[in-house]
Amino acid sequence: MPTSPRSVSRLHPLALLAAVSVALAAGAAAQEAPRRPNVLFVFSDDHAVSAIGAYRGRFASLDPTPRIDALARQGVLFRNSFCTNSLCGPSRAVVLTGLHSHRNGFRKNGETFDGSQTTFPKLLHAAGYETALIGKWHLTSEPQGFDHWEVLPGQGDYYDPDLVSTVGTRRIEGYCTDVVTDLAIDWLEHREHPERPFLLMCQHKAPHRNWMPAPRHLGLYRDVEIPYPDSLFDDHLDDASPTRAAHLSIDTDMSLVHDLFVTPWPGLVDVGQRAQDRSGTRNVARMSAAVRAVWDAAFAAGNLALREDRLVGRELVRWKYQRFLQDYLATVRGVDDSVGRLVDWLDEHGLGDDTIVVYSSDQGFFLGEHGFYDKRWMYEESLRMPLIVRWSGHFPAGAARDELVQNLDYAPTLLDLAGVPVPAAMQGRSLAPLLRGDGPPGGWRDAIYYHYHGYPDIHDVARHYGIRTARWKLIRYYQSDEWELFDLQDDPQELRNRYGEPELGGVVATLRARLEQLRVEYGDDTDVSEQRPAGRQGG
């Protein structure tokens, strides 16, 4: 029990001196104890690494991300960061739990996240952090472990979005990325417990389909010729048949009207209904008259030219690609603005050195590679995630790491950096040693494991799992029992499926054995015995 002042006064002088010394030492220790770092976690949706200048992809010369690039110069960039399941909701569940999809129970969009399970925000909150989540959630159940949350329902809208919180739903006028950023900064400025460290998860809809830029960015790339990928017209003839059965082709599945905002005219032939997403055109219909006028003017000249030219075949695909990338990259710029505003706020309020800033996205995205848009596949464009982390004065500036890391590692990393014990059940590993500039800890992973569970859905991407090492990638489409093997050293664009080549039999045997080891290690007992026809065989 604590000693009362009256009882202390009756202590022997030497005992009193000792008690005072202990109290002073405890007070000094408390003052010297380092404050736990704040965490600003900025998470976008479908941001491909090729659309980040710091990754030096084919769009770097277009300067799509000046503020994210600056963050990379101030922090650590991971070149080989990958997701475990390339889909929005599942990736978010993995980030929260540090568990693969088959362990956290959220395998595909449309399911309901079990909020009762352990998550890193809950653990930080229990350790004294003030926690907030603002923006995209996309896990169906209500967020748990947050002092404050306000989230987009489902995918949310780009313009005048609705947001849901514990007090109901409200519609906020403005552009979604800006609105989410405004709300995040407002929370920072009016925190209930400013004496405590914070976790702020600022999560954007952008640049998710239907790629709707802010009014100020509508003309940013409108007159720019966007570089084409070498594989835009990939025929997939040597790939497994699911690549020809899926519905995410720019040619046959990207809508002129609903994805690219072409004004229809009599006789216009658009793509079929299977993979259409009409949320963008619905959002346009509810814009204010002033915003709608700016929007329509930005697309008018290009739409008129398309109507007059009546393009078909590959020329139409090239036109669609240009419009798609112009809009996508302009939408990315809005996210970049958000990163800049948030980092500037921290620095201007003297919190730059006290805050870990993380920028990432839930998975990669196809920007015309292999003729695709969207994600889901285990191919590099979909599998690879951006990951940039800054903690000024603690992590080396401008560093880059090549180790294989996954979104599985985010939860244990942030817990470790906050001095909070990492649950043994988490399947990821802390990246703290890598962030500090040390060599990889012993036994660092030599391969990553991936499993996509999403079939059936609107894009008809078959279920598959696989392994990726520094050089090789082996994929199994278990519903049709087909395999793909790519040599990432000699064929980084994955244009030649080498599975079945006799000279690589030893490589395949080694990879298959390692793949099964990972399935056992991660406890993936998913039934992979089911079979189905390969489906559509056209290009």
Tell me the per-residue pLDDT of 14-30, one tens digit each, with 9 for 90 and over. Answer: 443 443 343 344 343 33
pLDDT interval class at 530 (50, 70, 90): confident
492-501, pLDDT tens digit by residue? 999 999 999 9
- CATH superfamily, domain 39-437, is Alkaline Phosphatase, subunit A (3.40.720.10)
pLDDT interval class at 532 (50, 70, 90): low
| Residue entry with tokens 């294989």 | 404
Q: Could you count the other beta carbons within 10 Å of the beta carbon of residue 24?
A: 10
318-364, pLDDT tens digit by residue? 999 999 999 999 999 999 999 999 999 999 999 999 999 999 999 99
Residue 274 confidence (pLDDT)? 86
Alpha helices, H only, 172-269: 176-189, 242-245
DSSP 358-397: EEEESS--EESGGGBEE--SSSHHHHB--EEEE-TTTS-T
3-state secondary structure 125-194: HHCCCEEEEEEECCCCCCCCCCCEEEEECCCCCCECCEEEECCEEEECCCEHHHHHHHHHHHHHHCCCCC
Determine contact, residues 72/339, Cβ cutoff 8 Å.
no
Residue 408 confidence (pLDDT)? 98
Phi, psi dihedral angles at 326 (to 5 degrees)? -60, -45
109-164, pLDDT tens digit by residue? 999 999 999 999 999 999 999 999 999 999 999 999 999 999 999 999 999 999 99
Q: Could you count the other beta carbons within 10 Å of the beta carbon of residue 268?
A: 13
Cis peptide before 207 (omega within 30 of 0): yes
Q: Architecture of 450-521 per CATH?
A: 2-Layer Sandwich (3.30)
Question: pLDDT above 90 covers what percent of the chain?
Answer: 91
Residue 531 confidence (pLDDT)? 66
Determine contact, residues 332/207, Cβ cutoff 8 Å.
yes
Residue-range domain boundaries for the chain: 39-437, 450-521
Determine contact, residues 367/230, Cβ cutoff 8 Å.
no
Alpha helices, H only, 10-51: 13-32
Determine contact, residues 83/407, Cβ cutoff 8 Å.
yes
DSSP 457-489: STT-PPPEEEEE-SSEEEEEETTTTEEEEEETT
Q: Could you count the other beta carbons within 10 Å of the beta carbon of residue 274?
A: 12
Residue 23 confidence (pLDDT)? 38
Q: How far apart are CA 354 and CA 188, in angstroms?
A: 14
Mean pLDDT of 72-99: 98
Determine contact, residues 472/507, Cβ cutoff 8 Å.
yes
Give, for 234, the enclosing helix (H) or strand (E): none
Give, for 39, the enclosing helix (H) or strand (E): strand 38-44
| Among 2-16, 298-312, 462-476, the least confident range | 2-16
Q: How far apart are CA 331 and CA 183, in angstroms?
A: 19
| Residue entry with tokens 């915003």 | 291
Q: Do domains 39-437 and 450-521 have the same CATH topology?
A: no
pTM: 0.93
Phi, psi dihedral angles at 254 (to 5 degrees)? -90, 120
pLDDT interval class at 33 (50, 70, 90): low
Q: Could you tell me the two tokens for 200?
A: 């702020």
Residue 35 confidence (pLDDT)? 83
For β-strands 373-374 and 472-477, DSSP reports them as: unpaired
Phi, psi dihedral angles at 459 (to 5 degrees)? -95, -10
Average pLDDT of the residues of the chain: 93
Residue 124 confidence (pLDDT)? 98
For β-strands 76-78 and 399-401, DSSP reports them as: parallel
Q: How far apart are CA 164 and CA 170, in angstroms?
A: 7
